Structures are given as C-alpha cells and as structure tokens.
Amino acid sequence: MQKVFLVGVIISLAFADQLSKWWLIEVFYKPRLFEADGPSLSFFEWLATFGQQQLPPISIEITSFFNLVMVWNRGVSFGIFSSVHEIMPYVLSAVALVMAVILGVWMSRAKYLTTLIPLSMIISGAVANVWDRLRFGAVADFLDFHYQEIHYPAFNVADCCIVVGVLLLAVDGIIIERCRNKKKLQREILNESAC
C-alpha cells in the first residue's frame, strides 16, 4: 500500500509540474502575448508532442518581487552545465534518469515516510524536467522572485519538488535519524537492564 502511495506522489507531482507549464505556455502566453494562430494544444496533446518550439523570453511583472517569465534552462539547477549543443539535453536526461533510478533503489530500502516522501519528491521533479528536455530541448522555467535587481534563478514546480525534497531529506538525515537512533539506544539499554 505504501508503494502505491509513493508512486502516486511521484506521478501527481510530475503531473502538477507539467500541467502548470502547459497552462502557462499554451493557455496564458501563446494566445495573449504571441497571438498564436489556431487553438492551443490540449494538455495531453501538448504532453505527448516532441520537438516543440521554445517560446522567446518573456517577463511579466506580477508584484514588486515576483514576475512570471519564460526562460529555457539548457543546463541543470541554476543553469550549471548549460550548453546549446544538441546532444546535451539527452546527456542531462540520461544523468537525471540514472539518479532517479539510484534514488528509487534507496526508496525500496528505506523504511520511514520522512525519508520516502522526500525521495519521491526528488524523483518526480527529475522525471518532469527530463520530459521537458526530451520535448523542448530545455527545461521551461517561469517563476522569478527578486529583490530590486537581485533575481533568484527562475524555476518551476519540478525544481520546487527537488529543492524541498533535498531539504526534507537533509532534515531527516541530520535531525530525525539522530532522534531515531537515540530512541533505539534507549530501548536497547532498557532491554539490557530488564535482563
């Protein structure tokens, strides 16, 4: 039952990421800013269409600290390893999928939800961004938070899943695991003293 729940978490978060990108690209940006001819693609048609064209850069100010943007990340987090070489999306996708498999093996051995949920978040984010790379050649980023002219790198829902998952995994490994080990040691001491 737990495995079904975790697979559901992975699929739901990846679906939420793709749905947010579809809405922004096909429903919000294309008809309003680019006056695109013809109807926007339906979600499932968009999700299954490879070789899609990347929209040009866009920035719409929403508040004094937040913009909706359209940028294409050809690298990994924060644009690291960014390259316009046409093989790079496939290389980065392969690396991300290998990492997702490694995290999946870790998930199969982990016992606690405090470990399993962050791992499923990271896997979902990685898989969602891989899907972007395979369809667009880059990852679609659209959330831009800033203070005056200092901008945090643009990101998307999948990136949020990865970052929050890594932070929760760190809390699990540093704080919660220590508490579990302490309780386990206390139980062992109580069992020894009872003998």
Residues labelled catalytic: 141, 159
Sheet holding 150-151, edge to edge: 58-61, 66-73, 139-147, 150-151
Structure tokens at 140: 């679609």
For 10-22, letters b (16+ CB in 10 Å) and e give beebbebbbebbb
Side chain identity, residue 160: C
Distance (Å, whole) CA 140 – CA 54: 9
- 170 in Cβ contact with 163 (< 8 Å): no
Q: Quick one: which of 26, 28, 139 has its CA closest to 74?
A: 139
Q: Quick one: which of 127, 83, 84, 85 has its CA closest to 103?
A: 127
Structure tokens at 76: 């990994």
